[in-house]
Structure 1
Amino acid sequence: MKLLLEGLRHFIQRYKQTFREVWKVRLQLDSPARTADELAFRPAHLELIETPVSPLPRWSMRAIMLFVFIALAWSIVGHMDVVAVASGKTITSGRTRIIQPLEPSIVKAIHARDGQHVKQGQVLVELDATTASAELQRIQEALNTARMSLARYTALLSAVRRKLKSESTPRKTGNNHIPRLLASSQQQLRDEGPIINAPSDIPATQKQTEQALLTSQYQAFISQVDKQKLLIQQKSDEIVTLKSQITKATSMLALAETKTADYRRLYDKKFASKHEWLAQEQEKVSLQNDLFIQRNRLQELSSAIEVQKQELSSIEAQFINNATEKLNQARDSIAQYEQEIAKNQKRKDILRLTSPVSGTVQQLAIHSVGGVVTEAQPLLAVVPDNEEVEVEVMIGNLDIGFIKKGQVAAIKIASFPYTRYGYLEGVVTTVSHDAVQDEKRGLLFPATILMKQSFILIDGVRVNLRPGMEVTAEIKTRQRRVIDYFLSPLRQYTSEAMRER
């Protein structure tokens, strides 16, 4: 190794020395300088040899070599952007609001036109609400009827319970108070009755009808109760009379027993005949039978009174139960009708199509009053104001693996050639994780790009971008060296070479 290095050193020194010697005599080796006229008179081969060579080819070659060197260095050091090209359209961040009817109807009025600016809540189209209004009125009348039924049965139950409470204490004290209670009930019925507490928004005629019905129901209850009380009173009067008769019969039986005993002693002493004694005995037995019958009758009347009292309690309880059931039914009906009213009111309100946002009317599809619209038919669109403009693009399967949120994109508007008016910048905000089927391009992945500005300068004039404009987005996915771009086909061919299927 040492000898190799030593030989290499001597070789370099020798050529270095030779170069110095030749460099010293370089001027002597050149032909003497001659003018163009002198060269013209020399032989052709000497003229060609002695004519100096033009420096242009040498400098051209040097320039080419320098350019190639610089290009090679730039391709190694420099980088270029790798972009994914996707087509799409401009949209608003809030999306265009499509106005559609909920059900088939007839156009009553049109309050908007294409290009008109509308405010949020402004009426755009009115549809015929005759059917909805009639249904709403029918349900409202049914609701008023249910509310009046609730008020009527509330007043009826209150009056009945108040009456029963006022009579409960006297009824327990004895039957002597029944006539007074009957008179008191009839007097109260004549003097005052239950008053219905109707809602203020109920028509007066309906209030009067319900009040009359309330009075009739209350009177029917009072009449039925008084009828039952009258039966009890009749039985009670019979008991009083029967008790007097039993008392009298008991006294007479005691006398008859005494007389019979006396006649027995007289008969035993032969002071009275047997016929007289037997006649007295027959009278005693007859009185005993009468007393037995009267006592049985008293027991029957007492049992009958208890049955009548139970029937009276049953009448009162059944009336209260029926009224309570009607009261609960009225409450349930009110709740149901209120829900139906809310639903039908909503149905009536949505027949007045209003703008959900402030914006500009576009794509008006109806122009004549009286026309028929179908369910979910797009009538017009409202483009929101002050909404950031976004771009919705469709990315192919070859590029989706390199697209991610936050990447920068250059957006070229098809309506304005970018070579003259430039392009806009944006940032990828969303990338779909699932593809959608396109009839021509197959499976594509939707992505959204937020634009940094919603206008473009055209000859110094600011032109706002509209939703639906066709655009081409170049999304910067990564960077790669320039030389890799040129070497990639070679690498591909190299990797695929020397193979056999």
Structure 2
Amino acid sequence: MTDPSTSITPLPKGHKPWEGSSAVVEQGRHWSSTLVWLSSAIFGSVLIWGFSAKVDQTISVRGKLEPAGSVREVDSPASGVVSKVLVRDGETVTAGQPLLEVEAEGIRSQRQSTLTTIALLEAQNRSLQRLLDSNGSSESLGTTLEAPTNLAPALQEKVTTALQQTQQIKARLKQIDVRLKSRRETLALSQRIADDLKPLFENGGYSRIQYLQQLNVIQEQTSEISSLNEERESVIGSVAGLINQNNRDLANLKATLNQVNETLSYRTVKAPISGTIFNVQVSPSGFVATDQVVMDIVPSERLQAQVAISNSDVGFIKPGLPATVAVDSFPAGEFGYIQGTLTSLGSDALPPDSTNGMSRFPATISLKEQTVESGGRKLNLQSGMAVTANIKLRSRPVITLVSDMFTKQLDGVKQFR
């Protein structure tokens, strides 16, 4: 049986309940309870997500692209006027390739004079050696060499003297050979006469005195031939001395030639490494001093990002951290990011300078790619391009971000006076 005091009489159609009625109160309690449970569920879910979800903590640093090897400065080993510049900015060169030439006409003339003198003395030595090998035959000397007129004065005198000595030797030997031939023919004739007179002398048909006089003539002619042979041997002996003197002169000339070649090598500036030319600072007809920097060469090596990390961000930095690099010249929205890895970190902070007003730690990021791509077109990176690198430090629970905010606020309250 229903208690009349607790029964609720339905309201007539079209009538609203009174706000303080039990129906309205019961309905409000229902919605409040639902809202409390819903809020608790949401808060609990957020709290669980805050502890379980991870967020990457990254720092953004600035820097620029640089080759893995340091940029090499090319300087001039000698002073002088630039005659030729053989390269231009942006050109790729190989190690040992000539880059520019410094005026060296005087040195080239000296080199040519030295080479000519060496060639003449060596040719003279060959002729003199043939003379020795042929036992002094003047015909073995061949044609007489002529001294050129475009040699340096000292070399001109040396060559002229040597050639004159050779000519004198040839003339003396030829003269001696002619005299020897004549004396031998005369001796042969005198010997025949003596041979013809001998039977007459023995048979008494020819006087003894006349026969002895003929023998005396033969003896004198034989003695003269011996003297000519001795003179000839003396001339041949002087040939050996001249060869030795020429050899000494050749040794000195070759030493001079080496020095001249070395000086000429200084006059041609060559690339110390392979790479790309930039910052050419000279032009033809310009003057360069010794050790003056004339251009730079970027090594033909992979580019890497050199970045600076502030003191406040360096705490969790260590080699091996992943990074994404955006090149200022190629917007990341179009060309994307280049993946990289932090490979090195400076052991000490660099002091502030005119470019950076605060101390920073230098770091290097290696790049997995050396090009960027957009629309199927690849573009090469270049040394010196500015970059922004995002270095991933660690993964943190989301809740720690909130706790950091409260910690900072609490620290601010503690320091408030």
Using the size of structure 2 for normalisation, the TM-score is: 0.57
Q: Kindly report which structure 2 residues correspond to 1:215-294, keeping only aligned pairs within 5 A, or say none.
A: 215-216=167-168
1:337: Cα distance to partner? 2.9
Q: Report the equivalent of 1:347.
A: 266
* AA in 2 matched with 1:89: K
**Larger CA deviation: 318-327 vs 397-406:** 318-327
The answer to whether residue 387 in structure 2 is matched with residue 475 in structure 1 is: no
The answer as to whether partners of 1:76 and 1:482 remain within 8 angstroms in 2 is yes
1:449: Cα distance to partner? 2.2
Alignment coverage as a number of residue pairs:
339
Distance 1:54 1:104 in 2: 100
Q: Provide, for residues 406-432 of structure 1, a one-character-per-residue CA deviation record: whole Å limited to 9, x for no partner.
A: 331011233455467643311234445
The answer as to whether partners of 1:81 and 1:480 remain within 8 angstroms in 2 is yes
Distance 1:318 1:381 in 2: 60
The answer as to whether partners of 2:370 and 2:381 remain within 8 angstroms in 1 is no
SS state at 2:367 partner: strand
1:75: Cα distance to partner? 2.8
Q: Kindly report which structure 2 residues correspond to 1:318-337, keeping only aligned pairs within 5 A, or say none.
A: 324=244, 327-328=247-248, 330-334=250-254, 336-337=255-256
Q: Report the equivalent of 2:309.
A: 395
Distance 1:454 1:379 in 2: 26
Q: Provide, for residues 165-215 of structure 1, a one-character-per-residue CA deviation record: whole Å limited to 9, x for no partner.
A: x8xxxxxxxxxxxxxxxxxxxxx58x45767999xxxx9xx8887443335
The answer as to whether partners of 2:67 and 2:298 remain within 8 angstroms in 1 is no
Cα 1:152/1:449, change in 2 over 3 Å: same
Cα 1:121/1:328, change in 2 over 3 Å: same
Distance 1:430 1:479 in 2: 21
Of 27, 40, 55, 1:65 maps to 40
Of 199, 212, 226, 2:164 maps to 212
The answer to whether residue 108 in structure 2 is matched with residue 136 in structure 1 is: yes
1:474: Cα distance to partner? 1.6
Gap regions ≥5 residues in structure 2: 151-155, 174-235
1:124: Cα distance to partner? 9.3
Distance 2:410 2:297 in 1: 57
Distance 1:401 1:471 in 2: 22
1:434: Cα distance to partner? 6.0
Cα 1:474/1:35, change in 2 over 3 Å: farther
The answer as to whether partners of 1:427 and 1:449 remain within 8 angstroms in 2 is yes
Q: Kindly report which structure 2 residues correspond to 1:335-484, keeping only aligned pairs within 5 A, or say none.
A: 336-350=255-269, 370-372=285-287, 376-379=292-295, 388-397=302-311, 399-400=313-314, 402-416=316-330, 418=332, 422-433=336-347, 436-439=350-353, 440-457=357-374, 463-484=379-400
Of 52, 66, 70, 1:77 maps to 52
Distance 1:454 1:133 in 2: 46
The alignment's C-alpha RMSD in Å is 5.6
* AA in 2 matched with 1:473: A
Q: Report the equivalent of 1:252.
A: none
Distance 1:56 1:461 in 2: 62
SS state at 1:67 partner: helix
Q: Report the equivalent of 1:52.
A: 27
Distance 1:61 1:421 in 2: 50
1:138: Cα distance to partner? 0.3
Q: Which has the higher helix share?
A: 1
The answer as to whether partners of 2:370 and 2:380 remain within 8 angstroms in 1 is no
1:218: Cα distance to partner? 8.7
Using the size of structure 1 for normalisation, the TM-score is: 0.49
**Larger CA deviation: 93-102 vs 460-469:** 93-102
The answer as to whether partners of 1:89 and 1:393 remain within 8 angstroms in 2 is yes
Identity among equivalent positions (%) equals 18
Cα 1:215/1:363, change in 2 over 3 Å: closer
The answer as to whether partners of 2:346 and 2:361 remain within 8 angstroms in 1 is no
Q: Provide, for residues 294-331 of structure 1, a one-character-per-residue CA deviation record: whole Å limited to 9, x for no partner.
A: xxxxxxxxxxxxxxxxxxxxxx9999789647634532
Q: Kindly report which structure 2 residues correspond to 1:129-208, keeping only aligned pairs within 5 A, or say none.
A: 129-130=102-103, 132-146=104-118, 148-149=120-121, 152=124, 188=136, 191=138
Q: Provide, for residues 364-389 of structure 1, a one-character-per-residue CA deviation record: whole Å limited to 9, x for no partner.
A: 666x75445565445576785xx644
SS state at 2:387 partner: strand
Gap regions ≥5 residues in structure 1: 1-24, 167-187, 222-315
Cα 1:159/1:464, change in 2 over 3 Å: closer
* AA in 2 matched with 1:342: N
Distance 2:238 2:328 in 1: 84
